[in-house]
Amino acid sequence: MLSGIANEYSVTPWNGDFALVNQDTTAAFSAKICVWTGCDPYGPFSYWAGHDQVYYTPEAGPYGTYGEEGQAYAYNAHVHPALASGDTWTLSYNVNSFDSRVSTDGAHYRDPSIYKPRFVSFRLVESSTLRSSSAFITQSPSDTATSVTPHGTGTPWGAGAIMGP
């Protein structure tokens, strides 16, 4: 098992390697969607510290766009290879609310758009300096004792540009 990997994720072929895209779980209900790479679909996987975030879900958390006082959360990030075009990829994630009231006061009744998938495009571009960087951290699937640095808020992986929700 890898630290920081959600229970649902995608492993997709990329430039002769494999990209693992997932919801960051190093913090509870994190809004970060991150990428790891590996030579095989079963790992080991690595990431470039501070440059592994491909998207930040704006709906989630106490400062999220739903204004539900931290009630909205994002989960289940997945890449859709069939929607990729060159280095532009499409991912989806879901949003839900902790407000489970079954009444007209409940979040899902007030705003049914909470519970629907979101699709986002992003660019994934490999940098020639990644593998020689001291910030490039590798973690094997059996390396569960290793503490992984929390994912950064830097630029997207390999200087790709987020293209918006």
What's the confidence (pLDDT) of residue 148? 27
For 119-161, how does the pLDDT look when each residue is reduced to its tens digit (9 = 90+)? 999 888 766 544 444 444 444 433 332 222 223 322 333 323 3
Q: How many residues comprise the chain? A: 165
Query: Where are the domains positioned within the chain?
Result: 9-159
* Beta strand segments in the chain, E: 9-14, 17-23, 32-38, 45-48, 53-56, 72-79, 88-97, 117-123, 136-139
